Amino acid sequence: MAWTRNVLRVDLTNGTCKSEPLNMEWAQQYLGQRGLATKYFVSEVDPKVDPLSPANKMIMTTGPLTGTPVSTGGRYSVVTKGALTGAIACSNSGGYFGAELKFAGWDMIIFEGKSLKPVYLSIVNDQAELKDAAHLWGKSTWHTEETIKKEHQDPLTRVCSIGRAGENGVMYACIINDLHRAAGRSGVGTVMGSKNLKAVAVRGTNGVSTIRDPKAFMAATVAAKKVLADNAVTGQGLPTYGTQVLMNVINEMGALPTRNHRDVQFEEARKISAEAMAEKRPSDGKSHLVTNNACFGCTIACGRISKIDETHFSVVNKPEYWGASGGLEYEAAWALGAANGVGDLEALQYANLLCNEEGFDPISFGATVGAAMELYELGILTKEQIGMEAPFGSAKAVCEMAEMTARGEGFGKELGQGSARLCEKYGRPDLSMTVKKQEFPAYDSRAIQGMGLTYATSNRGACHLRSYTVASEVLGIPFKTDPLVTEGKAGLVKAFQDATSVFDSAGVCVFTTFAWSLADLQPQLDAACEGNWTMEKLAEVGERIYNMERLFNNAAGFTAKDDDLPPRLKTEAAKTGPAKGLVSGIDKMRPEYYQLRGWDEQGVPSKETLGRLGL
């Protein structure tokens, strides 16, 4: 049993921390992390709750494989009702925080209520207490992390925190841990901020000693690591180029959404690609990329560590940004760059650093800027309203908008609302490239049809990580499908969604799925956890989790019409590239998908489906 079997319940209203035993019956049905925490969440929280009210809860959770030598076994997730979406949210992050929480002896922390004053939670093994955070409020995540480590006199204290974005109600604020790792999407940081909870600091020296069959487990982890090492993507592509390896590939496919999805190819994609990051720049003869980095336990090491160009306009007099820090991942590079038509790598990095420093999601932020730029170009937003000229392609505008959003100043307040609320306010909801109010990531659903269905049916709003069909449609993993057709995508999406639910509930990173199928995960889980974790059981758990999330959303008021894409993707054909002339076939795929899922035309799971899954 790789669970610690301990749940920490933190009542922020009353300032108490209590330990309670993990519900092991649920653990057998929902595994851990995403699945198990969501089970707790939906059992305890009214689906109609206002996400920013004290009645909403927030759960930080590890998986059974977190804190073990399983490759990438360092993940934790934050489950809540998303501030941005109003849907179930589950944001997953790497770094070292998750493993430390597990080492301290906790499977999850359930935060309830709202603190009167800013506080942070300090955990040292079984000792948990809320501490005053008045001196941290108003400070960045970087400052917070550094201050807490110093106060605890322990550089190995791991910290997750919100920055000013989370405090100021930026709707897509994230929770940052280990300086540049984020539980990024859906506004989980906004929820944290609404609770006056600034940070969680944890030190664990107990470790994980509850593996069911250690010998079999070690053998299984070694075998699975070999699979990752031997795979071209996880063994070479990701360590060398990071996720940014995709920039040129996706652009060539005509699937790189550009200028708020007006275009599907970006003429300057190369300038913001992995290749560009590795080249020596003319200004100082150094490359942007310093090295790659791993999260806890990860044998892939896709993380980028970059050094910004000290002479770039965004940081000339700001040495605090000159050091090595978290670099651009593909989604961020796309959102800050291509989505706005900006091809200035250093400007994107600066905005990216601000996102990490003050804790907001670069995908949602970048895409919101794209919407604002389109509104500006259409004359709906003026220079005066925004406070600057903001045409597509303006690197300066991206940098300044990032600053004003971080600080919650001027037009930054509106940008902080996300593109759905922004476009709604200015009378053009059609220009918001979102599903369930959450901004799209970096794949155009006209050129990669499966991603359209992925976005539309993702339980947490538009998201690539709920069923990354890019793997199949672009990279041929586990088998190649044609990205331009809709046939077979409903089944593909369902299969990916269910499998991903299992990976997200185990404590590992979804990037392992470039090389691992459930069959690679299963022996590791089974050796670690009590309960005979067969392939069949895992498949069922995955489907159960997906349906449970769906039920919550339905009860929260979401319907089939929320499983849809913006009109642009359904009516404005791709202008260039292999998908030229195509629109998204979402309306064709959705009914088939519902049917495969055992849902009615309204997207409501049928009695049989629920019965079959024990829901």
Partner 1 sequence: MQKSLHIDANKCTGCLQCEMACSYENYGVFITAKSRIKIFDFENEGRKVPYTCTQCAEAWCLMACPVDAIRLDAVTGAKVVNEATCVGCKVCTIACPFGTINYVAATGKVQKCDLCDGDPACATACPTGAITYVDADWTGFDKMRAWAGKTDNATRASA
Partner 2 sequence: MKHLIIGAGAAGITAAEQLRKLDPAASITVLDGEGEAAPYARMAIPYLLSNQIVEAGTHLRRDPDHYRTLRIDIEKGRAAAVDPVASLVRLVDGRVLPYDRLLIATGSVPSREKVAGIDLPGVHTCWTLADARAIIASLRPGTRVVQMGAGFVGCIIIQGLMSRGADLTVLIRSGRMVSRMMPPKASDMIAQWCAAKGVHVMGKTQTAKIEQDGNSLKVTLTTGEILPADIYLSVVGVKPGIDFLAGSGIAMQDGIVVDARMRTNLPGIYAAGDVAESCDCVTGKSQINAIQPNAVEQARIAALNMAGGAADFVGSLAINVLDTLGLVSCSFGQWQGVEGGAGVELVDEANYRYLSLQFGDDVLIGATSIGWTDHVGVLRGLIQTSTPLGVWKERLLADPTTFMAAYLATSQKAA
Q: Which residues contact partner 1 by CB under 8 A?
A: 67-69, 71, 96, 99, 103, 155-156, 179, 204-209, 211, 214, 218, 225, 229, 239, 290-299, 301, 303, 305, 307, 323-325
- CB under 5 to 8 A by kind: which of partner 1, partner 2, none does 605 bind? none
Angle of the 395-407 helix axis to the 345-358 helix axis, nearest 10: 10
Distance, CA of 366 to CA of 306 (rounded, Å): 20
- The nearest distance, CB 148 to partner 2, in angstroms, is 13
Distance, CA of 499 to CA of 487 (rounded, Å): 20
Nearest to 201 by CA among 156, 264, 233: 156
Q: Which is nearer to partner 2, 152 or 612 (CB)?
A: 152
Q: Which is nearer to partner 2, 146 or 377 (CB)?
A: 146
Give me the residues paired with residue 258 across strands: 263
Q: Which is nearer to partner 2, 307 or 550 (CB)?
A: 307
Distance, CA of 108 to CA of 228 (rounded, Å): 28
Nearest to 397 by CA among 383, 417, 418: 383
Output the six-digit token pair for 232.
């071209």
Distance, CA of 229 to CA of 481 (rounded, Å): 24
Count the neighbouring beta carbons within 10 Å of the beta carbon of residue 203.
Answer: 20
Distance, CA of 463 to CA of 359 (rounded, Å): 19
Q: Which is nearer to partner 2, 154 or 284 (CB)?
A: 154
- CB under 5 to 8 A by kind: which of partner 2, partner 1, none does 260 bind? none
Cβ neighbors of 456 (< 8 A, separation 6 or more) are 435, 563, 564, 565, 586, 590
Distance, CA of 38 to CA of 30 (rounded, Å): 9
- The nearest distance, CB 156 to partner 2, in angstroms, is 9
CB 87 within 8 A of CB 185: no
- The nearest distance, CB 218 to partner 1, in angstroms, is 8
- CB under 5 to 8 A by kind: which of partner 2, partner 1, none does 295 bind? partner 1
- CB under 5 to 8 A by kind: which of partner 2, partner 1, none does 257 bind? none
- CB under 5 to 8 A by kind: which of partner 1, partner 2, none does 96 bind? partner 1
- CB under 5 to 8 A by kind: which of partner 2, partner 1, none does 317 bind? none
Q: What angle do CA 514, 249, 499 make, to 5 degrees?
A: 25
- The nearest distance, CB 35 to partner 2, in angstroms, is 38
Is residue 209 at the binding interface for partner 2, with CB under 8 A as the rule?
Answer: no
Is residue 319 at the binding interface for partner 2, with CB under 8 A as the rule?
Answer: no
Q: Which is nearer to partner 1, 299 or 547 (CB)?
A: 299
- The nearest distance, CB 179 to partner 2, in angstroms, is 16
- Count of residues in contact with partner 2, rule CB under 8 A: 4
Q: Which is nearer to partner 2, 150 or 383 (CB)?
A: 150
Is residue 135 at the binding interface for partner 2, with CB under 8 A as the rule?
Answer: no
Output the six-digit token pair for 347.
């400007």
Q: Which is nearer to partner 1, 205 or 602 (CB)?
A: 205
- The nearest distance, CB 71 to partner 1, in angstroms, is 8
Q: Which is nearer to partner 1, 229 or 278 (CB)?
A: 229
Q: Which is nearer to partner 2, 261 or 307 (CB)?
A: 307
Is residue 18 at the binding interface for partner 2, with CB under 8 A as the rule?
Answer: no
Cβ neighbors of 208 (< 8 A, separation 6 or more) are 2, 4, 67, 68, 102, 103
Distance, CA of 532 to CA of 444 (rounded, Å): 40
Nearest to 361 by CA among 48, 93, 12: 93
3-state secondary structure of 94: coil
Distance, CA of 523 to CA of 563 (rounded, Å): 35
- CB under 5 to 8 A by kind: which of partner 1, partner 2, none does 150 bind? partner 2
- CB under 5 to 8 A by kind: which of partner 1, partner 2, none does 232 bind? none
User: How many CA atoms lie less than 13 Å away from 269 in the CB half-sphere?
Assistant: 26
Distance, CA of 33 to CA of 20 (rounded, Å): 17
- The nearest distance, CB 528 to partner 1, in angstroms, is 11
Output the six-digit token pair for 180.
């540049």
Nearest to 349 by CA among 301, 394, 389, 398: 398
- CB under 5 to 8 A by kind: which of partner 2, partner 1, none does 290 bind? partner 1
- CB under 5 to 8 A by kind: which of partner 2, partner 1, none does 153 bind? partner 2
Buried b (16+ CB within 10 A) or exposed e, 589-599: bbebbbeebbb
- The nearest distance, CB 346 to partner 1, in angstroms, is 17
Query: φ and ψ at 159, to 5 degrees?
Result: -130, 140
- CB under 5 to 8 A by kind: which of partner 2, partner 1, none does 296 bind? partner 1
- The nearest distance, CB 153 to partner 2, in angstroms, is 5
- The nearest distance, CB 205 to partner 1, in angstroms, is 4
CB 374 within 8 A of CB 262: yes
- The nearest distance, CB 309 to partner 1, in angstroms, is 15
- The nearest distance, CB 149 to partner 2, in angstroms, is 9
Q: Report which residue type is found at 365.
A: F
Q: Which positions from 150 through 169 interact with partner 2, judged by CB under 8 A?
A: 150, 153-155
Contact range with partner 2 by CB under 8 A, out of 96-104, 146-154, 174-182, 252-260: 146-154
Q: Which is nearer to partner 2, 149 or 413 (CB)?
A: 149
Which spans of this chain sit near partner 2 (rule: CB under 8 A)? 150, 153-155
